[in-house]
Chains A and B, each alone.
Chain A
């Protein structure tokens, strides 16, 4: 039986492309159209790999052995209630419905709660908290931007369809793309399907129209002065994205902050006392500042190159400050290239329930927030936690070794669909459905537009959704807590009864207890 699903949402990156066409045969995805190479890897191959977890596992005598769901739920809840200070981490590859329950679980436990945002665009969120952000939805940029700046990011690899769907290679109402025609011509010429696939996979590096070399030269290339939409890339190395840009500026590692500072001065027509900044001649930056000021609508996209290098959120802060300064002269927006498909959702859901987007702590009964204090890496680095629950994330592969070593010292619960690095390290391992393939839900695009995910195939038998697992753990935690409180109460009663004959005021006794 073949079924074709239209407008399916891709669950890889923050682009949340929602135009996939998925063909399902016998409850198995056999074909996918329109998606990028990474999407194809997940939706056609990866999701049904042999590495799938099908049963809950618990580590006994150092070995993971399959157990019943009830046992795993109870074990997990017991670990979390017994721990003095558990950490709940992950959430970014779950639907917002799951994240929603997650906050309640953390609140019930009084634990720390963090999402993957803290190791990707947490600094961007923090920068926003310092000075705000002038931003726009991606369509606004598609319709209007005549200058696109990719700063310290490589969408060609990390957000493969970003350029094609939202920026330089697409048409908007007020801005046409010369690339779009070019891509289309190319498609028509050499058989649409083949080339389309090739472009999708980004394996073919088709040459854009001839232009001067984009290495550091004295005078900026003519492409910058051309009409229509232009694309400029700032990065420490020449990436794929840089190769297709109109203009590429190679900056020294860890010097973005200085360059932003210099650009701010130049945009405001101030003079600098230095000749080069971060490996780029000031004269050169002047030209770029002019191009920025003369744009009708400019958009800066920045990536992990800013948030992970020296300076971190301060880098982003200055990128935003530059955008603000540019708004006095023209219209400019700035936007982070959010990674995981629902990392924005995690920030959003956490924020509306607690006021804070990540790095949360509930130990005081109310939410507390402070990156550096309650972020996963910092908690782990200091060894503050004595149990961890990881859901829909793989810190096993993406946290620095030092932090991970502290995590595995204590009990570890994992909820992931497949045997990724963290599942392999877990003490209680849950199987779960692939969000956006086997279960629906809601995800937030990088510009915080909510999109409904689609369910296209049935999950293997006995594999629940992560929402259900978290809900069941929450219920079990409540039961364990209630039992514990009851025990304490009977303990108290016994005490009171024994104390009663002595005629001591029960009030003072209660106080002592």
Chain B
């Protein structure tokens, strides 16, 4: 493989404490090395005057799977607005809110992102998710399995047998070729099986003698027992309900009860949707201050935001009851619900976030308030919960709102008047630096995910690099936010595993990218006896032998071996 030398760039590499120093980055055989063997044989990129960062790592973006594809399928009206022509090198496709797989890969790469986590995969439909991920080129990816309402887990937690639960989950992580445990509205999805929901973390889940609190703490403990690289990835109860910030704080407290003090115990995802105050939609308010205060005082959690970007998008989540509640609010012509037996549910509603709508504008404000009020950038990460808050290719807009108060003002000015009055944003003058941006988009996410070779440019790291046309010496990014925003959307170079894949925002190579999965080995393997098999037959409608995903479904698999402590 050819060697690459990136010369004289301003490097931002927070995991190695490099803050904009001018230096060279050398690449050999897909890894970062100290120096190239011979500069004359290496491909030299003159990065003088450019910003160099590790490739972006997205911690939460729904890019593939049954749910995503169903969303794609129901929105021809969305695709027809955004078509992508085939070229000699790249495949054609469509956008907008849920781009087709190839377009997803190309657009991520154009922004300098090289790793994306697909955070919601129903175990039974894992095969589909992996087939689809194979068609997302340019990026490395991994999926999180929905396990919070899996009958096996609920029964074992109710029994108090967490070790057995852990063994089952280890089996499931392997069987679905997954990377982390995802818990969505714990207990709520099971209740939704009969059209109901849970409304606090201490409501009982019908038929299972268990509460959401039991599930949350049980899963967090299981996660620790299994030595998973990432924490439990949690979508809270009561998501999207006014006043839900209290439930969120209850949840965070519950997680604290199992915190052992070394590394974070949980990750609360798209927390913007869980930081609502006010008693009802008419009195809808931001709960960002309370949540940020809590997070500033505690160290057991990480969060991502789920920023709203004002787009005609498509909301999709495994939280079926939430989507139904959204549908009930009216004004939606399409509603999809898709329950998955013994495991999960799902819902989809196309949704247009509008500046002039008070609730939407406040939601936008909540996301930014959280981002700016949480002091430590290692605790929170930037996402739009693609496509829920807005499509992922709107990230540069979000960056601009973070590094430029001028950009925030410009958007706020066009928002709903009531929302403007309620917004805390005018009182906050924090502006993110490039160093901090590198934390919330790559270094922090890679760390939270336990991806040792990603998110930084130290020796031995994967040679995933993005180079942006931003000169930190000559540009005041906060003032001239527009060109910088443009630069973030159109990488000067993206390098994936040592190969230049994007040059001047044009795709120049289309590698496949790897699919990472955990081979979790428990000391005592999960017992698969006839009893379990017969239970399996009772619970699912497919045969035990046909359930696990085989290697055939991973185009470029990257197995990560994990030794569990049970």
Contacts and interface: CB of A to CB of B under 8 A. Distances in A.
Real binding pair:
yes
Q: Is chain A's binding surface mostly helix, strand, loop or mixed?
A: mixed
Contacts of A9: 546
Given A352-B69, A369-B76, A452 B550 contact: yes
Given A327-B324, A353-B135, A355-B76, A448 B125 contact: yes
Interface residues of A, number: 63
Interface in A432-454: 442, 444, 448-452
A96 B134 CA distance: 13
Contact of B73 (A173, A351, A450): A351
Contact of A367 (B75, B93, B132, B348): B93
Contact of A132 (B66, B74, B85, B195): B74
Nearest to B552: A452
B336 to A, nearest CB: 4
A144 B539 contact: no
A165 B541 contact: yes
A140 B193 contact: yes
B69 A134 contact: no
A2 interface: no
Contacts of B552: 452
Interface string B537-566: 011111111100010110000000000000
A442 B131 contact: yes
A327 B341 CA distance: 18
Q: Is chain B's binding surface mostly helix, strand, loop or mixed?
A: mixed
B181 interface: no
B324 A129 contact: no
B168 interface: no
A77 B67 CA distance: 36
A352 B132 contact: yes
B175 interface: no
Nearest to B196: A331
B389 to A, nearest CB: 20
B125 A450 contact: yes
A356 B79 contact: yes
A278 to B, nearest CB: 26
A502 B459 CA distance: 60
B339 A140 contact: yes
Contact of A352 (B74, B79, B135, B553): B135
Interface in B204-241: 207
A132 B336 contact: yes
B356 to A, nearest CB: 25
B542 A449 contact: yes
Interface string A75-103: 00000000000000000000010001000
A297 B341 CA distance: 14
A331 B192 CA distance: 8
A451 B547 CA distance: 8
B231 to A, nearest CB: 29
Closest 6 CB pairs of A and B: A139-B341, A331-B195, A136-B339, A355-B94, A132-B334, A450-B127
28 contacts: A7-B546, A18-B542, A129-B76, A131-B333, A131-B334, A132-B349, A137-B340, A137-B541, A138-B541, A139-B341, A140-B341, A143-B342, A173-B151, A173-B538, A174-B207, A328-B328, A348-B128, A352-B72, A353-B91, A353-B93, A355-B72, A355-B94, A355-B99, A356-B76, A366-B85, A366-B93, A368-B83, A450-B128
Given A131-B333, A132-B336, A143-B342, 14 more contacts: A6-B543, A19-B543, A107-B91, A107-B92, A137-B341, A171-B538, A331-B194, A351-B69, A353-B102, A354-B100, A367-B83, A367-B94, A442-B127, A450-B128
